[in-house]
Structure 1
Amino acid sequence: MTRAREMPGGPGTGAAAEAARSEADGGTRNGTEGADSGRAPADSAPAPVAVSDAGLPGWLQPVAEAARTVRPEQLSRFLPSDGDDGRPAAVLVLFGDGDHGPELLLTERASSLRSHAGQPSFPGGSLDPEDGDPEGDGPPRAALREAQEETGLDPAGVQVFAVLPRLYIPVSGFVVSPVLGWWREPSPVGVVDPAETARVFSVTVADLTDPANRAMAVHPRGHLGPAFLVGSALVWGFTAGVIDRILHLAGWERPWDRERRVPLDWHA
């Protein structure tokens, strides 16, 4: 088992297939309990968010190419229906170039939260009215805002290069847009509010694609979904499902044992 690289805590110190059944994952909750700081006044027009895949590093091109043509059903069998009134949300799937190669930024929910305590997730949360049109650039704006509120990252250093099709989470009723970003200019990150986030950490793509770190998580209700065991983290649910699909569609997936089972109480 490999070790996830953790970011230091403190303010400014610095993504599906089968898993959609057991969507108890923090990547869809953060806007429900987040801080209100750093938000534009309600009467101000939101600044436009550019979405471009120009200038991405070569290693990230397979993800960008897959994002251009991906169909919703390739990501999940749980999709919003026409006229769906589920709560719009967005998560930031942020790729960076770390000390040990390409990596993803994740957070871990605080153990004291009412729901999904202690679970790794993408930064993100519900769309606020000031984020704008959920069918337009509202999701990128919300994903960047929430990531800043949760980790302290500077959104100016993030290049949004794609927004994946919206996915539906039956358990919570969220309609989630995974927003793909390239951390073009990394900034310090860490825990902004310990009451919501226990830690901010990165996981290398190499660790995520290592067959030794892959398994199927077993939910107490019997649902199965892809999972990743990286360091002290078990990444599962919606977040693991999105990662699983990205690895597959980008051609990064390596054969792994799909019969391997890990219970969600694996620490016990």
Structure 2
Amino acid sequence: MSWVSEGSGLDPGAAPSWLKPLLDNASDVKQAYRRRVPPEVFAMVTAERDKLGAPPAGREAAVLVLFSGPPDSPTGGPPEDADLLVTVRASTLRHHAGQAAFPGGAVDPGDDSPVQTALREANEETGVDTMRLSPLATLERLFIPPSGFHVVPVLAYSPDPGPVAVVDEAETAIVARVPLRAFINPENRIMVYRSANTRRFAGPAFLLNEMLVWGFTGQVISAMLDVAGWAQPWNTDDVRELDDAMALVGGQDGYGVAQP
């Protein structure tokens, strides 16, 4: 299906001042995303996308990129207690099993916008009260092989989204409001590649105490940090194979502490 309007239900004026740099530069996220994708991988993804053509029914999807935190910040940047809602997919799923992800999923026949899809899916996966959220903007569609989905990230904000938790263990293993400072902390940043590929195909990842955030989600977060001006210099030469990086998950005391 085709959505009526990708902008429906958006209220950019609800963004706190510390989110404005991201919102003002949201149109640059896709280009920043592409800069972190190795040229060989980008060429392969583009060829696969072009081969599939326009998204067929069931291949449109949306994810909720939910920032939470106080509306005011003494530094002008993200407050110390700002966070980002992230899940870890169940290990039994067909696509992207065990990966960290934004809550979201495929469009349902009754959905008329990415906003509606993202909010519905987030509620189904995390129990978040969508009435407490303010959708701010949609990013450009991004193509994800091998599932073939064209995904629209929906940026949203809430000063307090309320409790979140795993709703269906068959779909989701972890639901967490991860401190934004954990993603900004350069000590938590590495590059990751699959053993089936090579180090040339490594992409940005975040090694946290509960999860390794890599792949599509890691790329999007990395791109958002770049365009918002939140990114700090980090060691892009720290390149690890995926299984080796996953083996380190759980090896720290808090989100802001570096892994060994």
TM-score (norm 2): 0.76
Deviations 1:29-58 (A, max 9, x none): xxxxxxxxxxxxxxxxxxx95212113222
Partner of 1:263: 241
- CA distance in structure 1 between the partners assigned to 2:150 and 2:95 by the alignment: 18
Letter in 1 for 2:69: D
- CA distance in structure 2 between the partners assigned to 1:155 and 1:192 by the alignment: 15
Structure ranking higher in helix proportion = 2
Do the aligned residues in 1 keep the contact of 2:69 with 2:160 (CA within 8 Å)? no
Higher RCO (CA-CA < 8 Å; seq separation 6+): 1
Question: In structure 1, the residue corresponding to 2:169 is in which secondary structure?
Answer: coil
Letter in 1 for 2:216: F
Partner of 2:76: none
Partner of 1:91: 63
- CA distance in structure 2 between the partners assigned to 1:175 and 1:246 by the alignment: 19
- CA distance in structure 2 between the partners assigned to 1:246 and 1:177 by the alignment: 14
Select 2:232's aligned residue among 254, 259, 262.
Answer: 254
Letter in 1 for 2:189: R
C-alpha distance 95-129 of structure 1, shift in aligned 2 (>3 A)? same
Please report how far the alpha carbon of residue 91 of structure 1 lies from its aligned counterpart in structure 2 after TM superposition: 0.5
Select 1:189's aligned residue among 136, 145, 164.
Answer: 164
C-alpha distance 184-83 of structure 1, shift in aligned 2 (>3 A)? farther
236-245 or 114-123, larger mean C-alpha shift: 114-123
- CA distance in structure 2 between the partners assigned to 1:72 and 1:117 by the alignment: 24
Please report how far the alpha carbon of residue 184 of structure 1 lies from its aligned counterpart in structure 2 after TM superposition: 3.7
Partner of 1:227: 205
Partner of 2:17: 58
- CA distance in structure 1 between the partners assigned to 2:173 and 2:156 by the alignment: 23
- CA distance in structure 1 between the partners assigned to 2:131 and 2:231 by the alignment: 31
Do the aligned residues in 1 keep the contact of 2:115 with 2:154 (CA within 8 Å)? yes
Do the aligned residues in 2 keep the contact of 1:56 with 1:182 (CA within 8 Å)? yes
Please report how far the alpha carbon of residue 218 of structure 1 lies from its aligned counterpart in structure 2 after TM superposition: 1.3
Matched, 1:201 2:179: no
Runs of 4+ in 1 over 4 A off after TM superposition: 77-83
Q: What does 1:127-146 align with in structure 2 at a 5 Å threshold? A: 127-132=107-112, 138-146=113-121
Partner of 1:29: none
Please report how far the alpha carbon of residue 117 of structure 1 lies from its aligned counterpart in structure 2 after TM superposition: 2.4
Letter in 2 for 1:88: E
Deviations 1:130-149 (A, max 9, x none): 002xxxxx111100000000
| Identity %, equivalent residues | 44
Matched, 1:173 2:148: yes
- CA distance in structure 2 between the partners assigned to 1:221 and 1:206 by the alignment: 32
Do the aligned residues in 1 keep the contact of 2:14 with 2:136 (CA within 8 Å)? no
Question: In structure 2, the residue corresponding to 1:130 is in which secondary structure?
Answer: coil
Letter in 2 for 1:231: N
214-223 or 77-86, larger mean C-alpha shift: 77-86
Total equivalences in the alignment: 216
- CA distance in structure 2 between the partners assigned to 1:71 and 1:245 by the alignment: 6
Do the aligned residues in 2 keep the contact of 1:159 with 1:184 (CA within 8 Å)? no
- CA distance in structure 1 between the partners assigned to 2:66 and 2:23 by the alignment: 13
Do the aligned residues in 2 keep the contact of 1:90 with 1:139 (CA within 8 Å)? yes
Partner of 1:30: none
Matched, 1:213 2:188: yes
Letter in 2 for 1:209: I
- CA distance in structure 2 between the partners assigned to 1:169 and 1:62 by the alignment: 26
C-alpha distance 198-72 of structure 1, shift in aligned 2 (>3 A)? closer
Extract unaligned runs of 5+ from structure 1: 1-47, 133-137
Q: Over aligned residue pairs, what C-alpha RMSD do you find?
A: 2.3
C-alpha distance 50-253 of structure 1, shift in aligned 2 (>3 A)? same
Matched, 1:103 2:83: yes
Partner of 1:40: none
- CA distance in structure 2 between the partners assigned to 1:258 and 1:58 by the alignment: 30
Partner of 2:100: 120
